[in-house]
Amino acid sequence: MSAQLPLIIAAIALAIWIYLIAARGEFWRTPKFDDLAPAPGFMKWPSIAVVVPARDEAAGVGRCVASVLTQPYPGELSMVLVDDQSQDGTAQLAAEAAAAIGASDRLTVLSGRPLPSGWTGKLWAVKQGLTLVEGRSAQPDYVLLTDADIVYSGDVLMRLVARAQNERLAMTSVMAKLRCESFAEKYLIPAFIFFFEMLYPFSWVRNPAHATGAAAGGCILARWDALKNAGGIDAIRGSLIDDCALGARLKTQGPVWLGVSHDVISVRASETVSDVGQMISRSAYAQLRYSPAVLIGTIVGMMIVYLAPVAITLFGHGLAAVFAATAWLLMALAFLPTLRYYGQPAFWGPALPAIALAYMVFTVNSALQHFQGRGGMWKGRAQAQVSNPQ
């Protein structure tokens, strides 16, 4: 049996990669989902309220505010930035950015209240912004939930709204193009998108007949009535993976759309591997539903899918080595479209097992942080002990 074990493992890995490429919603074809069409004209463009939660976002908040408020959007567009007890002048920088483009009248900076029990920090900030919007005499047609490190270019907001209007969508969401400049970012960021699309294939999310629901938290355009009918932000107040939780709820209100765009980018810098690891560790164990059994199964599965093909290719023999090398080749080829989308060289393709190993370490670290009472650590807050009401 032991002599046959490498062959069995290699065959399993190969079968999994054949399935992933052939039958998992073409998740690996990242450029295919950069398909926001040019915006047609409307007699009357719907109104949009933008809500931005911001906690210590001095590095990018000015660019975010300016990029949104200078969008060539023909309809009514206003922004509420909720300053979540920042210590770096986030609120002032946001106000200065709006003033510099003559848009102070369209920006409201709201000082966030202390975080109550049962809420994650980001969602509590979003809740306060939405409450302010709801208290206005005129309700918006759409709300754009965006992060303070996201920068918009071109006429992407018009195109998002046009997609939502033409297809009667409850939600239109864009996975922002993450910064990919430092070595750590080049090493780990394209794989972050690759793995996200593997978990939540965009074609499945877009398909009303498919149960998969998800969103990308950096840019979510939700129809106002759909958001309210889905229970609002209150319904997911304890969720660490809040974007996917919200996307799933909004899908119950109508069709949704999830894609990528070069015109929606994140300017958040991750200069070190530790920086990227912190982002991943924040929610990795939550993705596994805080289950030790699922964690063990995930690590074993990743070892079979990513690491075993390399080991058996290099040290195996016969048919086992052939199967393993084929699995390694398939994973490298599947990774190439995402690498091209991020402008990265093809040599990162065969390196995917080494990248996956780093993600395994981050996932285990996420679990350790949870057991130490530091789960969901972000901007000085541990939030994984929050119970999700879903």
pLDDT (tens digit per residue) in 105-123? 999 999 999 999 989 999 9
Question: What pLDDT does residue 41 have?
Answer: 81
State pTM to two decimals. 0.94
On whether residue 175 sits in a domain, the answer given is yes
DSSP state of 307: I
- Of the pLDDT bands very low, low, confident and very high (cuts 50, 70, 90), residue 372 is confident
**pLDDT reading at 204 higher than 90:** yes
Quote the tokens at residue 34. 């950069």
Q: Are residues 261 and 322 both part of a single domain?
A: no
Residue 202: inside a domain: yes
For the cut 80, the answer to whether the pLDDT of residue 375 exceeds it is no
Judgement on whether residues 23 and 48 belong to the same structural domain of the protein: no
Q: Is 310 found in the same domain as 184?
A: no
What is the pLDDT averaged over residues 322-348?
98
Phi, psi of 7 (to 5 degrees): -65, -45
Taking the C-alpha atoms of residue 70 and residue 153, their distance in angstroms, rounded to an integer, is 9
CA distance 74 to 76: 7
pLDDT above 90 as % of the chain: 88
Is pLDDT above 80 for 390? Answer: no
Cα distance between residue 76 and residue 45, in whole Å: 8
**How far is 79 from 76, CA to CA, in rounded Å?**
10
Same domain as 117, residue 85: yes
Q: Which residue has the higher pLDDT, 389 or 378?
A: 378
**Within a domain: 283:** yes
Structure-token match 């998740």, residue found: 27
User: Hey, what's the torsion of the CAs at 103, 105, 107, 111, to 10 degrees?
Assistant: 140
User: 296 and 170 in one domain?
Assistant: no
Mean per-residue pLDDT of the chain: 94
Quote the CA–CA distance of 349 and 310 in Å, as a whole number: 13
Is 199 in contact with 286 (CB distance < 8 Å)? no
Instruction: Report how many domains make up the chain.
Output: 2
Is 139 a domain residue?
A: yes
What token pair was written down for 318?
A: 């016969």
Whether 159 maps to a domain, the answer reads yes
Q: Residue 133: is its pLDDT beyond 70?
A: yes
Looking at the fold, whether 145 and 237 belong to one and the same domain comes out as yes
Q: Are 222 and 143 in a shared domain?
A: yes
98 and 212 together in one domain:
yes
What amino acid occupies position 372?
A: Q
Q: Are residues 45 and 154 in the same domain?
A: yes
Handedness of CA 277, 87, 215, 98 (dihedral sign): negative
Contacts of 87 (CB under 8 A, 6+ apart): 56
Residue 166 belongs to a domain: yes
Last residue of one domain, picked from the residues 247, 271, 295: 271
Task: Mark whether 83 and 231 lie in a shared domain.
Answer: yes
Are residues 221 and 102 part of one domain? yes
Which CATH number do you get for residue 161?
A: 3.90.550.10
Band (pLDDT 50/70/90 cuts) for residue 3 is confident
pLDDT at 42: 80
Of residues 324 and 286, which shows the higher confidence score?
324
Q: Is the pLDDT of residue 125 over 80?
A: yes
Q: In the structure, what pLDDT confidence band is assigned to residue 294 with cuts at 50, 70 and 90?
A: very high
The pLDDT-based confidence of 389 (bands split at 50, 70, 90) is very low
Looking at residue 381, its pLDDT comes to: 64
Residues 250-279, mean pLDDT to the nearest whole number: 96
Say if CB 58 and CB 87 are below 8 A apart. no
- Position 387 confidence tier, pLDDT thresholds 50, 70, 90: very low
229 lies in a domain? yes
Tokens 């992933």 sit at which residue?
A: 20
Please indicate, yes or no, if residue 204 is contained in any of the structural domains.
yes
pLDDT at 101 over 80: yes
* C-alpha dihedral (18, 192, 28, 64), degrees to nearest 10: 170
140-181 pLDDT per residue, tens: 999 999 999 999 999 999 999 999 999 999 999 999 999 999
User: What is the mean pLDDT of the segment spanning 95-111?
Assistant: 98
CB 352 within 8 A of CB 361: no
The last residue of one of the domains, among 236, 271, 306, is 271
pLDDT at 79 > cutoff 60: yes
Residue finishing a domain among 271, 289, 311: 271
- For residue 142, give its domain range: 32-271
Co-location of 178 and 299 in the same domain? no
